[in-house]
Chain A
């Protein structure tokens, strides 16, 4: 059992928790993920590590309430426990020796992008951050990004805050103006990452993407998280849990990943509604 040390709602659909897990906290690096189960017989879900506090022995997770399990997790309060918490899994993001990096985060993906920005910033790298949201109400981590970036650009889909644009607009503008990045690292919805990669390709800038496919064990056993890379014209199967979650964005077959991500769409929507009904009953 793993205690919830701290819980904070960042916006109506995004929650932050610090989970007591000293073994994971000792090891976790930016870019890695954990797998948790909220209760016995629960589903295993992967969440990327959003920060660690080694002294306290805690691991920070930030999650969006998108399905039954995240709904149940959000219903847990401080000092309550979750059943399972295992990690750190996957490979850490490669941050060594980079002089200038652009971090592009979208929505709750910004939670995962932040520790990478922090780590790079601490190493003395020049960090440019572009973070995008649907609207002002769901904006998260603005101050944290500001404190860990040389330049910060904020976009919203509806223009309620920052620039009314997709994240690719400021990225393209920077690249067009001759700004040089060793690498662009992007984390967010698949469709956003696909377009960030396309923008980078235009200017020949390397682009790393953080993939978050459906997973079960997360340790290289089930193969459910496989994705296809196009490496020098050849299709190669890779497993996000042990080979990733970071991949060379140029090589990832995004269309396939998007399709696979929707495999259980009907099931998940149904499960989410059932969970909401159940929780509402409990409240009454």
Chain B
């Protein structure tokens, strides 16, 4: 049988329709699509896809189960390695991981592994009614700081081995970046809630409203009887550009903009937490977070959304799929442009004018690519006398984050690197005995799946450490 050179298309909401609603963009494979896509897998001997997966899911094995229409069996295969399949099937950058290594991909499009993973997870969530059994308690207590992807993974893996795990979350809802950062249209919050629920059924306690470093310190967690601690507290404070006008009204960090919409539900009608809707919006930056912010702005009702990025499309760090979706939805990419000043309204005759201090535009300068920098990326350099003003009333700065100081400031002996990230060894152990760390708190902003991989590694190391004790 000839192999279909292309992946089966992912059904999506029409671009014009979805650009104005918060429902999920990608609709997911049906059974027929899933089985046919699974049949594209060559089941090759080397299984390069498995090594491309940060949590080493037995990919050909679960795909074989789909071929046999044993979807629950496929889920059980994934579940052995991943605690959050419904999440990963949606937000992993598969093109750089499993699918990037797929043998089929040498000649054709790789197998749609991410799409199949999502199908299997959604099938399980819709059809499985079996109660999860709580594993037998092994008598050891572990605390996990943060309920984002690394914390949830670490907690899940340890709970399955019988550890009594408590997850401490600073916000009022568990999920970390999956809840406050990634928008509903890419990752419905009901899916995150379901994954957290599964962990609770495994016996994990989730304590919201506890800020480790403030409400409790790491040392106090040990005094409370926890024998090991995993720190997955995530990235931290948003970076700003340091240009004039960044404190004007209408300038947000991407974290604030997305938190208002996602966590605080500002996208709803009659929200209790306000957000600036409508008008013309400029997103500064080119990462996945910038794409999320741009597409959120559209859905909130913006007239026009720009993505302003100082390099070219080739260097743009966001996932290709996200960029394509954004373009289809009408996001206007202004590449090789760099903001130099945000302009605000100022009525010199009336200091009480309510419009004073609101954004009226963003002055940018055109850039061109010069010599490559130390990482081999061509450095953008300003073109002389090329300044112009972009007519906008909201600006969202999405140029990364710097680590949060709360844990390092209150944990003596915890070593951090020059970027503020927690230093760990190859077993995810920090400079403090029995304190492990992973995810963005260690690496700075990265992906959901790499954080999950880090949580997994830490769970393995904690298990080794405590089973020897």
Which residues of A approach B to under 8 Å, CB–CB? 23-24, 27, 37, 41-44, 68-69, 83-89, 216-217, 219-224, 226-228, 237, 239, 242, 253, 256, 259-260, 262-268, 271, 274
A221 near B208: Cβ-Cβ < 8 Å: no
Q: Are A37 and B172 closer than 8 Å at their CB atoms? A: yes
- A219 near B406 with CB under 8 A, answer yes
- Nearest chain B residue, comparing its CB with the CB of A222: B256
Contact A221 B236 (CB under 8 A): yes
Which residues on the B side are within 8 Å of A23 (C-beta)?
Answer: 210, 215-216
Interface residues of B in 187-222 (CB under 8 A from A): 208-211, 214-216
Q: Which one, B9-17, B247-255, B380-388, is touching chain A?
A: B247-255
A242 touching B265 in the complex, CB below 8 Å, given contacts A216-B259, A222-B238: no
Flag if B247 contacts A228 (CB, 8 Å).
Answer: yes
B22 within 8 A of A: no
Q: Which residues in chain B, 354-404, are within 8 Å of chain A measured between CB atoms? A: 354, 356-357, 404
CA distance A131 to B250 in the complex (A): 35
Partner of B172, one of A27, A44, A260, A266: A44
Shortest Cβ distance from B242 into A: residue: A237
* Neighbouring B residues of A259 by C-beta, 8 Å: 249, 356-357
- Residue contact B236 to A69, C-beta cutoff 8 Å: no
Chain B residues whose C-beta falls within 8 Å of the C-beta of A239 in the assembled complex: 237
Question: Is the pair A84, B172 in contact by a Cβ cutoff of 8 Å?
Answer: yes
B360 to chain A, nearest CB (A): 14
Q: Using a CB–CB distance below 8 Å, which chain B residues touch chain A?
A: 170-172, 180, 208-211, 214-216, 234, 236-238, 240, 242, 246-247, 249-250, 252-253, 255-256, 259-260, 263-265, 270, 272-274, 354, 356-357, 404-406
Whether A41 contacts B265 by the Cβ 8 Å rule is yes
Query: Does A86 lie within 8 Å of B211, measured CB to CB?
Result: yes
Contacts known (A43-B264, A88-B214, A237-B246); A219 close to B170, Cβ less than 8 A: yes
Q: CA–CA, A227 to B250, complex, Å?
A: 14
Interface of B is mostly: loop
Closest to A239 in B: B237
Residues of B within 8 A of A242 (CB): 237, 404-406
List 19 additional contacts besides A216-B264, A223-B256, A266-B354; criterion CB under 8 Å. A23-B215, A27-B214, A41-B265, A83-B172, A89-B214, A216-B256, A219-B406, A220-B405, A221-B259, A221-B404, A222-B238, A224-B256, A226-B240, A242-B406, A259-B249, A260-B249, A262-B357, A263-B249, A268-B274
Say yes or no: B215 contacts A220, CB within 8 Å: no
Knowing A223-B255, A242-B404, A242-B405, the reply to whether A86 touches B240 (Cβ < 8 A) is no
Flag if A43 contacts B214 (CB, 8 Å): no
Q: Report the Cα distance A226→B211, complex, angstroms.
A: 20
CA distance A223 to B396 in the complex (A): 12
Cβ-defined contact, B405 with A84, below 8 A: no
Nearest residue (CB) in B for A84 is: B172
CB <8 Å contact, A86 and B170: yes
With A43-B273, A69-B272, A265-B354 as known contacts, state yes or no: A217 contacts B249, CB within 8 Å: no
A226, B255: Cα distance in complex, Å: 13
Closest to A237 in B: B240
Contact B172–A264 (Cβ < 8 Å): no
Q: Which of B208, B238, B250, B270 has the most CB of A within 10 A?
A: B238
Query: Which B residues are in CB contact (< 8 Å) with A262?
Result: 249, 354, 357
**Chain A residues with Cβ under 8 A from B242's Cβ?**
237
Given A85-B209, A260-B249, CB of A43 within 8 Å of CB of B172: no
Residues of A contacting B404 with CB < 8 Å?
A: 219-221, 242
A264 to B277, CA, bound (A): 12
Cβ contacts under 8 Å, A268 to chain B: 274
| Closest chain A CB from B214 CB (angstroms) | 6
CB pair B274–A86 under 8 Å, yes or no, is no
Q: Using Cβ atoms and an 8 Å threshold, which residues of chain B touch A223?
A: 237-238, 240, 253, 255-256
Interface centre among A69, A253, A260 (most CB of B within 10 A): A260
5 shortest A-B CB distances, which residue pairs?
Answer: A259-B357, A223-B253, A86-B209, A223-B238, A222-B256
Given contacts A217-B171, A242-B406, contact A68 B272 (CB under 8 A): yes
Which residues from A are CB-within-8-Å of B210?
23, 86
CA A44 to CA B264, docked complex, whole Å: 8
Docked pose: A264 CA to B252 CA in angstroms = 13
Most buried by B among A41, A68, A228: A41
Q: Which residues of A contact B250 (CB under 8 A)?
A: 263
Complex CA distance for A258 and B210, rounded to whole angstroms: 31
Residues A86 and B255 in contact, CB atoms below 8 Å apart: no
Q: Which residue of A lies closest to B208 (CB)?
A: A84
A residues within 8 A CB of B247? 226-228, 237, 253, 256, 260
Q: Considering only CB atoms, which chain B residue lies closest to A243 in the complex?
A: B405
Q: A237-B240, A237-B246 are in contact. Are A271 and B406 (CB under 8 A)?
A: no
Asked whether A220 and B237 contact (CB < 8 A) given A41-B265, A259-B249, A271-B272, the answer is yes
Residues from chain A with a CB closer than 8 A to the CB of B170 are 86, 217, 219
In the assembled complex, the Cα of A223 lies from the Cα of B240 at a distance in Å of: 9
- Chain A CB count within 10 A is highest, among B240, B250, B357, for B357
Closest B residue to A225 by beta carbon equals B256
Question: Which of these, B256, B260, B272, contacts A42 with CB under 8 Å?
Answer: B272
- Contact partner, B259, options A27, A222, A227, A265, Cβ 8 Å: A222
> Please, which residue of chain A has its CB at the minimum distance from the CB of B258?
A222
Considering the chains assembled together, what is the distance between the CA atoms of A220 and B216 in angstroms? 16
Residues of A within 8 A of B240 (CB): 223, 226, 237
Between-chain CB contacts (< 8 Å), 29 pairs: A27-B214, A27-B215, A69-B272, A84-B172, A84-B208, A85-B209, A86-B170, A86-B209, A87-B215, A216-B264, A217-B180, A217-B259, A219-B170, A219-B171, A219-B211, A220-B237, A221-B234, A223-B240, A223-B256, A224-B252, A237-B242, A237-B246, A242-B405, A256-B247, A262-B249, A262-B354, A263-B249, A271-B274, A274-B270
Set of chain B residues within 8 Å of A27, measured between Cβ atoms: 214-215
